[in-house]
Amino acid sequence: MTLPKGFGSGGSSGGTSADVERMIGRRVENMTGMITLAYLAAWLATFGGTAAGYFYYPWAYPTHSGHFAFIVLTIIETIGYIFCVKVMEEGTRKNTNVRTGVVIAGVAVGTLYISMYVGW
């Protein structure tokens, strides 16, 4: 396998598995911002899906059911976000616990606010 410039032994023989791991690790360890934006987009899309039930189809999608679905899906998305960030940072010196905590806390506050005041 031919590796990008700067990886491997420099010859045409390819690289070792350590070179491939280093190359892949370098590519994903700086993507915490991208993962965070994807998480926030998924959360907003979840709200958008439940908001359709709150505002456009209230006779078919009871408010309590919508709130329950929104909260459960938010919890599932949050667990996935934590796993993505922690696996991505494994073996690196990066530590984005503060950013991850702030994002999760913000989503938790937003979820509680939406569940308390939207659709009642």
Judged by average pLDDT, the poorest of 3-12, 16-25, 77-86 is 3-12
In this structure, are residues 39 and 105 in contact, taking their beta carbons and an 8 Å threshold?
no
Radius of gyration of the chain (CA): 21
* Total Cβ atoms within 10 A of residue 5: 6
Tell me the residue type at 118. Answer: V
Q: Could you tell me the pTM of the whole model?
A: 0.75
For 92-107, how does the pLDDT look when each residue is reduced to its tens digit (9 = 90+)? Answer: 777 888 999 999 999 9
How much is the average pLDDT of 66-95?
A: 91
